[in-house]
Amino acid sequence: MSGDGTNGLWFGHLSERAQRVGPSPIGGLMVRALEQPALISLAAGFVDQASLPVEAARSAVLSALAEPEAARAALQYGTTAGDVQLREQIARAITDADVAALHANNPDRLTAPLNVPRAENMLITAGSNQILALLAEALLDPGDVILCDAPTYFVFTSIVKGVAGRCIGIAADEHGMRLDALEAELARHAHDGQLHRIKAVYVMSYFDNPRGVSLSAQRRAELLALVERYSHNRPIYVIEDAAYRELRYEAPDLPSLFSYDKAQKFVIYTGTFSKSFAPGVRVGYGVFPPDLLQVMLALKGNLDFGSPYLNQRLVSHALSDGLYEPHVALLRSVYGRKAACMLDALEAELTPLGIAHWVRPRGGLYVWVELAAHLDTGEQGQLFARACELGVLYVPGEPCFPEGAVQRSCMRLSFGVQSEPRIAEGIAKLARAIREQL
Amino acid sequence: MSGDGTNGLWFGHLSERAQRVGPSPIGGLMVRALEQPALISLAAGFVDQASLPVEAARSAVLSALAEPEAARAALQYGTTAGDVQLREQIARAITDADVAALHANNPDRLTAPLNVPRAENMLITAGSNQILALLAEALLDPGDVILCDAPTYFVFTSIVKGVAGRCIGIAADEHGMRLDALEAELARHAHDGQLHRIKAVYVMSYFDNPRGVSLSAQRRAELLALVERYSHNRPIYVIEDAAYRELRYEAPDLPSLFSYDKAQKFVIYTGTFSKSFAPGVRVGYGVFPPDLLQVMLALKGNLDFGSPYLNQRLVSHALSDGLYEPHVALLRSVYGRKAACMLDALEAELTPLGIAHWVRPRGGLYVWVELAAHLDTGEQGQLFARACELGVLYVPGEPCFPEGAVQRSCMRLSFGVQSEPRIAEGIAKLARAIREQL
What percent of chain B has pLDDT above 90? 85
The answer to whether the Cβ–Cβ distance between B46 and A297 falls below 8 Å is: no
The answer to whether the Cβ–Cβ distance between B129 and A50 falls below 8 Å is: no
- Helix or strand (DSSP H, E) at B316: helix B309-320
The answer to whether the Cβ–Cβ distance between B13 and A235 falls below 8 Å is: yes
Q: Which residue of B has its CA nearest to A44?
A: B77
To the nearest whole angstrom, how far is the Cα of A281 from the nearest Cα of chain B? 6
Confidence of residue B5 (pLDDT cuts 50, 70, 90): very low
Q: Which residue of B has its CA nearest to A1?
A: B233
Query: Contacts of residue B307 in chain A, CB cutoff 8 Å?
Result: 126, 282
> What mean pLDDT is predicted for residues B249-269?
94
Confidence of residue B6 (pLDDT cuts 50, 70, 90): very low
Q: Which residue of B has its CA nearest to A59?
A: B62
Residue A107 has a pLDDT of: 59
User: A189-244, pLDDT tens digit by residue?
Assistant: 999 999 999 999 999 999 999 999 999 999 999 999 999 999 988 899 999 999 99
> What mean pLDDT is predicted for residues A135-158?
96
Q: Which residue of A has its CA nearest to B63?
A: A58
Residue A9 has pLDDT above 80, yes or no: no
What is the full DSSP assignment across B25-67? Answer: TTHHHHHHHHH-TTSEES---PPPSTT--HHHHHHHHHHHTTS
The answer to whether the Cβ–Cβ distance between B75 and A54 falls below 8 Å is: yes
Q: Determine the Cα–Cα distance for residues A202 and A242; give it in Å rounded to an integer.
A: 11
Residue B404 has a pLDDT of: 78
For residue A114, with 0-12 CB atoms within 10 Å meaning exposed, 13-18 middle and 19 or more buried, which class applies?
middle
Tell me which residue in A11, A72, A229 faces B54 most closely, judged by beta carbons: A72
The answer to whether the Cβ–Cβ distance between A10 and B235 falls below 8 Å is: yes
Q: How far is CA B390 from CA B36, B385, B397, in A?
A: 11, 9, 20
Confidence of residue A110 (pLDDT cuts 50, 70, 90): low
The answer to whether the Cβ–Cβ distance between A228 and B5 falls below 8 Å is: yes
Torsion of CA A302, A307, A309, A310, to 10 degrees: 140
- Mapping DSSP onto H, E and C, the string for B79-127 reads CCCCCHHHHHHHHHHHHHHHHHHHHHHCCCCCCCCCCCCCHHHEEEECC
Query: Contacts of residue B22 in chain A, CB cutoff 8 Å?
Result: 298
Residue B113 has a pLDDT of: 85
Residue A112 has a pLDDT of: 81
To probe the interface with A, which of B63, B131, B304, B327 has the most A CB atoms within 10 Å?
B304
A–B interface: beta-carbon pairs under 8 A = 288
Comparing C-alpha atoms, which of B212, B209, B283, B176 is closest to residue B44?
A: B209
Residue B40 has pLDDT above 90, yes or no: yes
Q: Which residue of A has its CA nearest to B229?
A: A5
Q: Identify the sign of the CA torsion B138, B139, B142, B147.
A: negative
CB–CB of B260/B114 below 8 Å?
A: yes
To the nearest whole angstrom, how far is the Cα of B108 from the nearest Cα of chain A? 21
The answer to whether the Cβ–Cβ distance between A298 and B274 falls below 8 Å is: no
Residue B50 has pLDDT above 60, yes or no: yes
Query: Contacts of residue B23 in chain A, CB cutoff 8 Å?
Result: 294, 297-298, 301
Query: Contacts of residue A115 in chain B, CB cutoff 8 Å?
Result: none
> What mean pLDDT is predicted for residues B214-235?
94
User: A160-198, pLDDT tens digit by residue?
Assistant: 999 999 999 999 999 999 999 999 999 999 999 999 999
The answer to whether the Cβ–Cβ distance between A196 and B12 falls below 8 Å is: yes
User: B76-102, pLDDT tens digit by residue?
Assistant: 999 999 999 999 999 999 999 999 999
Residue B105 has a pLDDT of: 76
Comparing C-alpha atoms, which of B407, B12, B400, B408 is closest to residue B213?
A: B400
Residue A403 has pLDDT above 90, yes or no: no
Residue B223 has a pLDDT of: 98
For residue B196, with 0-12 CB atoms within 10 Å meaning exposed, 13-18 middle and 19 or more buried, which class applies?
middle
To the nearest whole angstrom, how far is the Cα of B126 from the nearest Cα of chain A? 7
Tell me which residue in A52, A130, A140 faces B75 most closely, judged by beta carbons: A52
Tell me which residue in B127, B232, B301 faces A5 most closely, judged by beta carbons: B232
CB–CB of B371/B356 below 8 Å?
A: yes
What is the full DSSP assignment across A313-345? Answer: HHHHHHHHTT-HHHHHHHHHHHHHHHHHHHHHH
Comparing C-alpha atoms, which of B87, B58, B310 is closest to residue A307?
A: B310
Tell me which residue in B13, B298, B305 faces A22 most closely, judged by beta carbons: B298
The answer to whether the Cβ–Cβ distance between A308 and B49 falls below 8 Å is: no
- Helix or strand (DSSP H, E) at A395: strand A395-396
Q: What does the DSSP 8-state code read for residue A148?
A: E
Residue A33 has pLDDT above 90, yes or no: no
At residue B89, φ and ψ (nearest 5 deg) are: -60, -45
Terminal-residue alpha carbon distance, chain A: 50
User: B97-156, pLDDT tens digit by residue?
Assistant: 999 999 887 756 667 888 999 999 999 999 999 999 999 999 999 999 999 999 999 999
Residue A207: which residues within 8 A CB-CB, separation 6 or more? A213, A214, A244, A245, A247, A248, A361, A362, A363, A364, A365, A366
Residue A405 has a pLDDT of: 79
Query: Contacts of residue B280 in chain A, CB cutoff 8 Å?
Result: 73-78, 308-310, 313
Residue A28 has a pLDDT of: 74
Residue A3 has a pLDDT of: 35
Confidence of residue A295 (pLDDT cuts 50, 70, 90): very high
Q: Determine the Cα–Cα distance for residues A411 and A405; give it in Å rounded to an integer.
A: 15
Residue B187: which residues within 8 A CB-CB, separation 6 or more? none
The answer to whether the Cβ–Cβ distance between B304 and A159 falls below 8 Å is: no
Tell me which residue in A280, A297, A311 faces B76 most closely, judged by beta carbons: A280
User: A310-345, pLDDT tens digit by residue?
Assistant: 999 999 999 999 999 999 999 999 999 999 999 999
Residue A377 has pLDDT above 90, yes or no: yes
The answer to whether the Cβ–Cβ distance between A18 and B138 falls below 8 Å is: yes
Average pLDDT, chain A: 93
Query: Contacts of residue A18 in chain B, CB cutoff 8 Å?
Result: 137-139, 295, 298-299
Residue B238 has a pLDDT of: 98
Residue A385 has pLDDT above 90, yes or no: yes
CB–CB of A68/A78 below 8 Å?
A: no
